[in-house]
Amino acid sequence: MHQYFGTDGIRGRVGVAPITADFLLKLGWAVGSVLSAKGQTSVIIGKDTRVSGYLFESALEAGFLSAGVNVGLLGPMPTPGIAYLTQAYAASVGVVISASHNHYEDNGVKFFSGKGLKLSDTQQRAIEKKLGEPMISVDTKHIGRAIRHDQALGRYIEFCKSTFNRSIDLSKLTMVIDCANGATYHIAQSVFAELGAEVIMINNQPDGYNINLNCGTTDTKHLQQEVLKHGADLGIAFDGDGDRMVMVDHQGELVNGDELIFIIAKAWHSTGDLKSDTVVGTQMSNLGMRHALTSLGIQFIEANVGDRFVMEQMKSNDAALGGEGSGHIICLDKTTSGDGIISALQVLEVICKAEKTLCDLKNEMIKYPQVLINVKTDEKVDLGNHTKLNEVLSVVEAELGDEGRVLIRASGTEPLIRVMVEASDLNLAEVSAQKLAAAL
């Protein structure tokens, strides 16, 4: 069990420990000290668009420099862009200052190894051990230097485009793109427009406070309205740090991560490009997707919730495709992490090759109604010994039988208990979820 690291780095409310300037300063020093002990002397730092990013960028930079590590500053950059650029710039570690899909009041830090992968448990433990030691700066002649990588944006844009089949022309597609006022605001239009699409941009004017506010992957109402208003072929929504992506079809209907993974998987399977004929999902993955993949002869493997756990299972099972219903999709033969822009490009490639609408492709999978209720908590809840909850759970599971399932888990990033119920009947799923949430 880690003291600071959760399922996706370190995250919390700005100004509340550990998301404070003094902690981020020491965190930079601790990571830098672990690196320098191994002879590794360079990191890159990127951030999303929330206002506290300025503060924490400076604190982390100072910490790394005091440990004798050189720093490359990227400015606003999607999380997957930092995963790629860590490799492109041959840095030892890539640092992302972001709280992903949370609002501006929160922030956090994620790390990538020199290979563009999330840090291992062993590496995280070494960092936490160092955090427990006094912070001692290197002597003056060994202090690190900082530079700003001015070409980083263009390099990432070209990398995204390189994952798309350039024999395909997107000029027949009109799309609305919602950047969640986040890290894709100055990138997404260039990628899709340069590949030929007619692009209508929304929520691409970040002010430090409007990231993920009534927009992006967690709130697609605005995008759905704009797709219908403009008669667009589809809409694409990213989250604040650009590692998640969901779509909206021409009828204004949401197409979530599970449906998008199915669309990619079916296409790759038909051409023999689905490595190991395997897809990795999570405990939250829709029953409809599982059944649809199985009917095609594609193996589905369930991981714990969180992209790090999905990645672990993908590696263990030699899979190239995995992800979550939230829109975190990993195409490992294209890049090393979940990337909203690159995932969207893979779906667009399928649409163009199949000459079908996103709506048609989505309907090839029957999604089970899924109800998710987040129950706020001020303290840790022992779910296994929650008598009232387990009494209600027994009744609910008996009512659902083989036509549904329940998943109750603590969030790894927020003070919430997530109650998820799936059933072939929406009303039954809603009633069941409400009973369980009430018990909690």
- 397 three-state secondary structure: helix
Whether the predicted model's global pTM rises above the 0.95 cut = no
Mean per-residue pLDDT for 318-344? 96
Residues 181 and 128 in one domain: no
Mean per-residue pLDDT for 264-293? 95
pLDDT in tens, 365-379: 999 998 999 999 887
Task: Just list the catalytic residues.
Answer: 100
Residues 239 and 262 in one domain: no
Residues 334 and 408 in one domain: no
| pLDDT over threshold 90, residue 74 | yes
C-alpha to C-alpha distance for 303 and 220, rounded to whole angstroms: 27
Instruction: State the pLDDT at residue 409.
Output: 87
CB neighbours of residue 398 within 10 Å: 8
Mean per-residue pLDDT over the chain, rounded: 95
Closest CA to 306 of 2, 4, 8: 8
Final residue before a domain boundary, out of 238, 253, 268: 253
| pLDDT over threshold 70, residue 174 | yes
Residues 128 and 14 in one domain: yes
Mean per-residue pLDDT for 75-82? 98
C-alpha to C-alpha distance for 233 and 226, rounded to whole angstroms: 11
Residues 15 and 102 in one domain: yes
In a domain, 362, yes or no: no
Residues 261 and 330 in one domain: yes
Residues 141 and 211 in one domain: no
Query: Is 46 in contact with 179 (CB distance < 8 Å)?
Result: no
Instruction: State the pLDDT at residue 333.
Output: 95
Number of domains in the chain: 4
Residues 140 and 248 in one domain: no
In a domain, 358, yes or no: no
Mean per-residue pLDDT for 168-188? 97
What is the CATH classification number for the domain harbouring 186?
3.40.120.10
pLDDT in tens, 111-124: 999 999 888 888 89
Residues 160 and 269 in one domain: no
Instruction: State the pLDDT at residue 234.
Output: 98
In a domain, 246, yes or no: yes
C-alpha to C-alpha distance for 100 and 239, rounded to whole angstroms: 7
In a domain, 114, yes or no: yes
Residues 136 and 30 in one domain: yes
Going by pLDDT thresholds of 50, 70 and 90, the confidence category of residue 41 is confident
Residues 226 and 310 in one domain: no
**Largest pairwise CA distance in the chain:** 70
Pairing of β 278-282 and β 321-323: parallel
Instruction: Determine the structural domain holding residue 23 and report its residue range.
Output: 10-150
- DSSP string for residues in 191-225: HHHHTT-EEEEES----SS-TTTT-GGG--HHHHH
In a domain, 349, yes or no: no
